[in-house]
Amino acid sequence: MSRLILALAFLLAALSSPTLPARAAELSYVARHGKADFLTAHLYPGASIVLAPQHLRENIAALTFDDGPDAANDPEILRILAEHDAVATFFVVGRNAAKHPRLLREIAAAGHEIGNHTYEHVRLITQDPQQQDAALRRTNTLLSAAGVAPRWFRPPFGSYDEHTLSIARANGLETILWTIDSKDYRDIPAAVVEDRVMRDLTPGSVILMHSNHRNTVEALPNILTRAKLAGVRFVTLTEWKALMERATVAQAD
């Protein structure tokens, strides 16, 4: 019976989401229940490793901030992260990075990782393979010129098709989604963003947040304080992957 209620709740959550596919609602559920195979296919599509968060030796998680660089919020996000000794990954939109090159360099110089989030925040399933390639390549070129070598790609809206993963690989990028959707883009109160993240936070979580929403900035100090009390260390996605690979090897031992 409770399973039925859960299934209905997730269906309703999926239907009520105006901008994201049903996958986002499924992911939080999977992350909470630690089904590694499903987690791999949906969080990290096309990955060469099987994620085994249950075998992680350390309680780590990855914060990700999409849609910047954002001149209004990112300087504050950087200050808050520094105060809490936390690092994160920023999935920048190429046209925003072109407008804010200094901010882009500041993010990288502070030890955070920078990923590719297309040039104009397009929904890739509406684009043919050549257009998809251009959306990724243009941002890579811009980032390279700023001295940043991106390794990760996150498709806007979590939307990708059968061409996207190989196009990303051809551009030297691994595609990654998230396990926790903070839903900050709905402009919900900061306390709700905070509670949603903390409720679902488990070892290995990848948290979706956005640079261009004020509630993210307001929720971040409490998230970092509460996570630290819970023994969580926030890492870049590259470190996240290294630790995940180690957990996979440990599982095989």
Q: Answer whether 104's CB lies under 8 Å from 114's CB.
A: yes
Catalytic residue, chosen from 42, 55, 117, 210, is: 210
Minimum distance of Zn ion from residue 208's CB (angstroms): 9
Nearest to 157 by CA among 16, 13, 65, 20: 20
- Whether residue 69 is preceded by a cis peptide bond, meaning omega within 30 degrees of 0, is yes
Q: Answer whether 232's CB lies under 8 Å from 197's CB.
A: no
CA distance 162 to 167: 10
Nearest to 20 by CA among 164, 169, 166, 177: 177
* Radius of gyration, alpha carbons of the chain: 17
Among 62, 66, 142, 184, binds Zn ion (CB under 5 A): 66
In the residue annotation, 210 being an active-site residue is answered as yes
In the residue annotation, 161 being an active-site residue is answered as no
Pick the closer one to Zn ion by CB: 67 or 200.
Answer: 67
Q: Answer whether 36's CB lies under 8 Å from 51's CB.
A: yes
Catalytic residue, chosen from 42, 55, 66, 112, is: 66
Select the span of 60-68, 128-136, 144-152, 239-247 touching Zn ion (CB under 5 A): 60-68
Amino acid in position 205: S
Report if residue 181 touches Zn ion, rule: CB under 5 A.
no
Minimum distance of Zn ion from residue 96's CB (angstroms): 10
Nearest to 173 by CA among 162, 181, 164, 182: 164
- The size of the interface with Zn ion (CB under 5 A), counted in residues, is 3
Amino acid in position 181: D
Select the span of 61-69, 98-106, 182-190, 216-224 touching Zn ion (CB under 5 A): 61-69
DSSP state at residue 186: G
How many Cα atoms are found within 13 Å in the side-chain-facing hemisphere of 119?
Answer: 14
Pick the closer one to Zn ion by CB: 165 or 177.
Answer: 177
Question: One symbol per residue from 133 to 162: x for binding Zn ion (CB under 5 A), - otherwise; what is it?
Answer: -----------------------x------
Pick the closer one to Zn ion by CB: 69 or 156.
Answer: 156
Minimum distance of Zn ion from residue 211's CB (angstroms): 9
Pick the closer one to Zn ion by CB: 55 or 196.
Answer: 196
Among 51, 53, 67, 118, binds Zn ion (CB under 5 A): 67
Using Cβ positions, the residue closest to Zn ion within the complex turns out to be: 66
Specify the residue for token string 């990028």.
Answer: 173
Provide the binding-site residues for Zn ion, judged by CB under 5 A.
66-67, 156
| Catalytic center residues | 66, 210
